[in-house]
Amino acid sequence: MLRQIKPIVKLKLNYFREIWNLVEISLILSSRLILILNIFLWKDYQSIRKQFAQTNGFIPIYLDSTIERNNLLKFLQSFCCFFWNYSIYQTLSF
């Protein structure tokens, strides 16, 4: 992350004109968001497990927010995976 801050300060808004700089920043931000989503999902799973244990499954458990977070997490993971692989391919092709 610190490696990215120096060119941003030096080039200011010109830094964002190159597509790979945008991709790098979006990868950094999405990987941070993946970490945060994993924490929230872990808390959701703990809460669901606790509710299920208390009620023996006789009360409906609403999973709407957990499903939406999980879908967002899968999207961000696939985004990161694609661009990391593509950047590795670009690096190795030279």
Note the pTM of the prediction, 2 decimals. Answer: 0.71
- Please report the pLDDT score of residue 72 as a whole number: 92
Domain count for the chain, please give it: 1
Q: How far is CA 31 from CA 19, 34, 76, 78, in A?
A: 18, 5, 8, 11
Q: How far is CA 46 from CA 17, 22, 50, 64, in A?
A: 43, 36, 6, 16
- Please report the pLDDT score of residue 84 as a whole number: 83
Q: Is the pLDDT of residue 4 over 70?
A: no
- Please report the pLDDT score of residue 83 as a whole number: 85
Residue 41's domain spans which residues?
Answer: 2-93
pLDDT in tens, 37-93: 999 999 989 988 998 889 888 888 888 888 998 999 999 999 988 888 887 887 787
- Please report the pLDDT score of residue 57 as a whole number: 80
* Residue 62: CA count within 13 A, CB half-sphere: 2
Rounded Cα gap, residues 5 and 25, in angstroms? 10
pLDDT in tens, 16-52: 787 777 888 888 888 899 999 999 999 989 988 998 8
